[in-house]
Chain A
Amino acid sequence: ETGVTQTPRHLVMGMTNKKSLKCEQHLGHNAMYWYKQSAKKPLELMFVYNFKEQTENNSVPSRFSPECPNSSHLFLHLHTLQPEDSALYLCASSQASRDYNEQFFGPGTRLTVL
C-alpha cells in the first residue's frame, strides 16, 4: 500500500464510450501525475498537476482529458479512444516543494479498448 489508490483496476471500453479513471492520494502531496505504460516501452508521462494547476501536457491527444479538483484527487476522462490506447495507466504523487521528487505510484488501471 503506497498511499495512492486508483479505480477501477480494470476497464474494458468500446471506442465510442466515455469513461473516467480516478486517482486519490493520502500522502499529503501537492503534485500528481498521469503516466501511460505500454508493453516493452518506458513509462510515458502524460500530465502533471502542481497545486491543482496543470503544468505539463506531453502532447497527449485531446481524447484524454485530465481533471484535478483538489490536490488529493486526479481524474482522467476518456472518450473516443483507439485500440492503441490500451495500456496500464498509472497515477503518481509527490511533494512538489521538495528538492527531491520521489514519486509514489498507484496500482494502475489496466485499460483495454475494443
Chain B
Amino acid sequence: GQQLNQSPQSMFIQEGEDVSMNCTSSSIFNTWLWYKQDPGEGPVLLIALYKAGELTSNGRLTAQFGITRKDSFLNISASIPSDVGIYFCAGISSGSARQLTFGSGTQLTVLP
C-alpha cells in the first residue's frame, strides 16, 4: 500500500523558534492535508492543499504542496506553548478512491 514518510518523528524547540516538518512519498498525491492532534482529542484539520506548488497559510502556519506532487512541508513560525501536539500529514491519490493515507506524525514540544 501507499506510505507517507513523515519527519522528524519528534522535535523539542524553544518558544519563539520556527519549526519545519515534511512528508514524502514514492507515490503521487492529488491532495495534501495537515492535521494537529492534542492529547486525548481527535485530529483537527489545519491546512488543505490541492495543487502542485500551492503555498497556503493559516495564521503562523504555512504549508506547501511539492512540485513533484510527492511531498509537502509544514512550517510554524514563532512557536508558542499551545503549538504542542502531534502533527500529521495526509495525502489523497487518484487511485485510492479518495481515501486518506496518513503519516506517522511529528510530536512537537515547545519549551518555555
Q: Is the CB of B99 within 8 A of A42?
A: no
- Give the docked Cα–Cα distance between A102 and B48 (Å): 8
Indicate whether A43 reaches chain B with its CB closer than 8 angstroms.
Answer: yes
Residues of B within 8 A of A43 (CB): 43, 88, 102
Q: Is the CB of B92 within 8 A of A101?
A: yes
Q: Is the CB of B99 within 8 A of A101?
A: yes
- Give the docked Cα–Cα distance between A76 and B31 (Å): 28
Indicate whether B66 reaches chain A with its CB closer than 8 angstroms.
Answer: no
| B residues contacting the other copy or chain, number (CB 8 A) | 22
Binary contact readout B26-68 vs A (1 if CB under 8 angstroms, 0 otherwise): 0000010101000011111100101000000000000000000
Q: Is the CB of A4 within 8 A of B104?
A: no
* Stretch of A14-22, A60-68, A77-85, A105-113 on the interface side: A105-113
Q: Is the CB of B43 within 8 A of A105?
A: yes
Number of cross-chain contacts by CB at 8 Å: 53
Residues of B within 8 A of A57 (CB): none
| A residues contacting the other copy or chain, number (CB 8 A) | 24
- Give the docked Cα–Cα distance between A100 and B100 (Å): 11
Instruction: Give, as a whole number of angstroms, the nearest-CB distance from B80 to chain A.
Output: 22
| Known A2-B42, A2-B44, A56-B99; contact A42-B104, beta-carbon cutoff 8 A | yes
| Known A42-B102, A45-B100, A48-B99; contact A100-B42, beta-carbon cutoff 8 A | no
- Chain B residues with CB under 8 Å of chain A are 4, 31, 33, 35, 40-45, 48, 50, 88, 92, 97-100, 102-105
25 intermolecular pairs with C-beta atoms under 8 Å apart = A2-B44, A4-B42, A6-B42, A40-B104, A42-B4, A42-B88, A43-B43, A43-B88, A43-B102, A45-B100, A48-B99, A56-B97, A90-B43, A92-B42, A96-B98, A100-B92, A101-B98, A102-B48, A103-B33, A105-B44, A107-B40, A107-B42, A108-B40, A108-B41, A108-B42
